[in-house]
Structure formats: structure tokens, C-alpha cells
Chains A and B, each alone.
Chain A
């Protein structure tokens, strides 16, 4: 644990235990999403599905990166991951992004993807609000993740016909915002 780092956060008025629990729940959401997106990506096939496969893969890898980036902060603040993977799955801040009943229905697959991203956008907005001006390091991390989650949401939303995302697909490296936490 980074004792003084934790002390500074508490002194600034953040309930550190609550914050750590939220970080663990969001880390669980990232890792479980990585898992469920693997199944969704595999099922994105055919004329419609193939076009979405690439961004689903980018979102999948970036969600795993978010998990990797969150873990050090959890331990710095005195938290830990549960020993049991099943416990970790069930405490996720977002519901499982399960494959829809009809896996050939690309639109319902897209809804699963966009819903998962929207849940994440809400979760990191909350962490940013809790930490802004108080816990600078967690804020910086949550904001970096939020930036990527918003882009994921807008990609999938565009495919659903909700309007232009305003973004281009990643060219080259994944996680343009979060990679600085993974060095």
C-alpha cells in the first residue's frame, strides 16, 4: 500500500474504502466484459457482422487494458482483488454482456455492446466526480478510461444508426488515453 498516497486521499475528504470498492467493481466489469466481448466478437460474422468485428476487438482489448491499469491503483490505495474469480464476476459494476438469444441478429449484438459501454461511461463519470480535485491520480486514471469508453459507445451507437460518432477507428496502437498507465 502507498500509505501517504492513501492518507492524502482520505484527508481530501474521499471515503477511500468506498472508492476502492468501486474501483474493484469496475475492474471486474472490465475483465468480465473482455471475456463476454470475446464471445460477441466470435459471433460477429456474415456481411453485417464482419464490419463490426474490428471495433468490437478494439473495445475488447481496451477493456482488458482498463483492467490492467486499474489494478495497481487498487493496491496502492490498500485494496485487493477477491481471491475467488466467481466472486469477482458477480460483483461487477455492470451486468454480464451476454450473447443474445439469436446470435445471428447483429443489431441485438450491437445493443449488448452499446449497453455495456453506456454502463461503463456512467461508472467512470461517477468515479471522476468523486475524485475530482481530491484524488488526482485516480481521477487521471478514471478520466483516461472514460475517454476510451465514450469512444467505444459512440462507435457502436453509430452502427445502430443513432448518428455519426465523430471518430475514426484506431490506427495503430490501442488505448491512446490509458496506455500511459500501463508502461
Chain B
């Protein structure tokens, strides 16, 4: 499985034709094919290329919806 640093992930923000990846609990999901993540933005409030673990806490749905999108990698822990 592909490994990403946070800096690498930022490039996959869905803008200008780039793929849209998001992180939830250490896993990287590819949301590029989702109608609801066009241009890397989800419901106005959420941006791809980031770790959205905390943001999901306030969403009107749980992590189960992430199963609709493929996991393509893991995020590397930040070096201390």
C-alpha cells in the first residue's frame, strides 16, 4: 500500500484536475470518482488533501460512507 506524508497528501486536493484524496484514521481514501467530492470540495465545508478525521465528528453521517471509496494508502506519522 502506498505511503503518504502530510505534505504529499496536500497535492491531492482535487483542484486543477488532480486526484482528490482524504485521510480518515490513518487511511488514505481516493474520493476522485465521487459526485459529492467534485473539485476536491465536499458539501462546501470540507477539502480534499487533508486529514478529515476530526471534521467527520461533526458530519451528519458516520465513517461507514467512506466504504464507498477505495483505500489507496496510509499516512505516515509525523516525525517528532
Residue positions of A touching B, CB distance < 8 A:
18, 21-22, 25, 90-96, 121-123, 125-126, 129
Contact = CB atoms under 8 A, between A and B. Distances in A.
Interface in B25-60: 35-36, 38, 43-45, 58-60
A25 B38 contact: no
A95 B45 CA distance: 17
Contacts, number: 28
B38 A90 contact: yes
The B interface is mostly helix, strand or loop, or mixed, namely loop
A90 B38 CA distance: 9
Contact of A21 (B44, B58, B59, B61): B44
Nearest to B36: A95
A19 to B, nearest CB: 9
Contacts of A95: 35-36
The A interface is mostly helix, strand or loop, or mixed, namely helix
A77 to B, nearest CB: 14
Contacts of B61: 122
B26 to A, nearest CB: 25
A95 B42 CA distance: 12
Nearest to A130: B45
A96 B43 contact: no
Nearest to B34: A95
A22 B44 contact: yes
Contact of B43 (A22, A90, A129): A22
A123 B60 contact: yes
Nearest to B65: A122
A121 B45 CA distance: 17
Contact of A122 (B44, B45, B58, B60): B60
B35 A25 contact: no
Contacts of B60: 121-123, 125-126, 129
Given A122-B60, A125-B60, A126-B60, A18 B38 contact: no
